[in-house]
Amino acid sequence: MSRISRRTFNRLVASTAATATISAPFVAHAAKPTVVVVGGGAGGATAARYIAMDSGGAINVVLIEPSKRYYSCFFSNLYLGGFRDYESLGHGYRALAVDHGINVIHDWVTGIDRPGKSVTLSSGAKISYDRLVLSPGIDFKYDSVPGYSAASASIAPHAYKSGTQVQLLKAKTEAMKQGGVFVMVAPPNPYRCPPGPYERISMIASLLKPKNPTAKIIILDPKEKFSKQTLFQSGWDAHYPGMVEWIPASVSGPLESVDLETLSFKTDLENFKADAANIIPAQVAGRIAHQAELVDKSGWCPINPESMQSTFDDNIHVVGDSSIAAAMPKSAFSANSQAKVVANHVRHALTGSREFPARYNNTCWSLIGKDDGVKVGASYKPGDGKIEPTSKFISKPGEDAELRKKTYEESLAWYANLTADMFS
């Protein structure tokens, strides 16, 4: 062993002491409870932000989301209709990291060790949690549409998840020949954003009408009715007469096959040949929820309505589209509302802060044509084992143009407020 002088020894002792002092806050930080949030969308970003903001540094918050930029599905229909540009849908995570001290990790969670209370990332890293908030959105059952697959989403885009699919769908619609046919295969219940496919039809019609007025739009629907049906159908007649045809399965029979080479759709009654198509398959909870065995037979995650805790695991809260929120539709508004209930509950559980009774809200706005906005919404509270509505409202057919314009403007304010509530 080499000999060291007294001066060197003293310097080493001093520097060790300094290191100890510097690392002291780290030790304290590591002792804080940790909440891991999986998914940086409407549910996850809101939960992470509220837990970090309201706990004033008492909880270590880790947000895991693969994408560096979140492109919202909500308002993506307005991009299709030409009422918004694509970049206005994009949001980054900088403020969550810098202003709220959230440890934002851009990676996939590939495994959840429930007994060990940790998650594994695709990098191989492991992160322990005291509570886990899961908001991974949806996954598709591609084979619910015969012939459709993940690979064929580049031919007939679903455009039903955050990302560039909606740009592809718009490009394909704009490239349709004059008088061409656009076919949408609508999803069965339950699925993300009940009015979403029908607002999309309105926006596709709005895009086509000035440049391709003889184009036809066909909706092949496995459902017998849909959200805001009267409002949409009277709106289509008023704005796009003769352009849109909705065909429920009771009329056409079930969809028997789809030929993606020729974009042909075979039903019991008739064959349809499309020039552009939008196939939205059946949906289930995000894949990681299945891997962690947090789903029931329905493919979605049952929750306790007071706290959004998984009925399979008290340490895990499932929010947003993956959860079974009963009467609450799968929407960004719902996910944001659920995430705030979870934030309050988690802070109470981990720091002893005051807990408020769970209350939830949702409004879904849809744009049918320029300045023609409609809405449906409700308030909710925990009921007998499930979330139940306490009051409801819906726009009425025949409302005057002034009111419809006001409703549309309300939706613009909602988008600005909601995305600020997630990302600012």
Residues engaged in binding ligand FAD (CB under 6 A)? 38-44, 64-67, 70, 73-74, 76-77, 108-109, 135-137, 160, 162, 192-193, 196, 200, 286, 288, 320-322, 330-333, 335, 364-365
Tell me whether residue 169 or residue 252 sits nearer to ligand FAD (CB atom).
169
Tell me whether residue 60 or residue 72 sits nearer to ligand FAD (CB atom).
72
Name the minimum Å distance from CB 366 to ligand FAD.
7
Burial of 18 (0-12, 13-18, 19+ CB in 10 A): exposed
Name the minimum Å distance from CB 406 to ligand FAD.
17
Tell me whether residue 132 or residue 255 sits nearer to ligand FAD (CB atom).
132
Q: Answer for the pair 300, 284: CB distance below 8 angstroms, yes or no.
A: yes
Tell me whether residue 60 or residue 77 sits nearer to ligand FAD (CB atom).
77
Name the minimum Å distance from CB 420 to ligand FAD.
15
Q: How many degrees, rounded to 5, is the angle at CA 250 between CA 248 and CA 256?
A: 80
Name the minimum Å distance from CB 323 to ligand FAD.
8
Q: Answer for the pair 328, 303: CB distance below 8 angstroms, yes or no.
A: no
Name the minimum Å distance from CB 196 to ligand FAD.
4
Amino acid occupying residue 6: R
Tell me whether residue 252 or residue 418 sits nearer to ligand FAD (CB atom).
418
Name the minimum Å distance from CB 136 to ligand FAD.
4
Tell me whether residue 127 or residue 252 sits nearer to ligand FAD (CB atom).
127
Spatial separation of the C-alpha atoms in residues 381 and 96, rounded to whole Å: 29
Name the minimum Å distance from CB 279 to ligand FAD.
13
Which run of H or of E encompasses 407?
A: helix 401-423
Spatial separation of the C-alpha atoms in residues 239 and 228, rounded to whole Å: 16
Beta-carbon count within 10 A of 137 CB: 24
Tell me whether residue 289 or residue 349 sits nearer to ligand FAD (CB atom).
289
Tell me whether residue 226 or residue 252 sits nearer to ligand FAD (CB atom).
226
Q: What is the DSSP letter of 123?
A: T
Name the minimum Å distance from CB 334 to ligand FAD.
7
Q: Residues near 195 by Cβ (< 8 Å), separated by ≥ 6?
A: 226, 227, 228, 232, 364, 366, 376
Q: Which residue is nearest to ligand FAD (CB)?
A: 41
What token pair was written down for 337?
């509302």
Q: What is the DSSP letter of 341?
A: H
Least Cα distance to 295 among 320, 312, 309 occurs for: 312
Tell me whether residue 38 or residue 52 sits nearer to ligand FAD (CB atom).
38
Strands (E), 114-232: 118-121, 126-128, 131-134, 138-141, 181-185, 216-221
Q: What's CA 367's distance to the chain center, in Å?
A: 19
Q: Residues near 114 by Cβ (< 8 Å), separated by ≥ 6?
A: 292, 293, 313, 315, 316
Name the minimum Å distance from CB 97 to ligand FAD.
16
Tell me whether residue 226 or residue 365 sits nearer to ligand FAD (CB atom).
365
Name the minimum Å distance from CB 25 to ligand FAD.
29
Q: Answer for the pair 181, 212: CB distance below 8 angstroms, yes or no.
A: no
Spatial separation of the C-alpha atoms in residues 172 and 43, rounded to whole Å: 31
Tell me whether residue 243 or residue 335 sits nearer to ligand FAD (CB atom).
335
Q: Residues near 52 by Cβ (< 8 Å), separated by ≥ 6?
A: 59, 61, 96, 100, 101, 102
Residue 82, helix vs strand vs coil: coil
Name the minimum Å distance from CB 109 to ligand FAD.
4
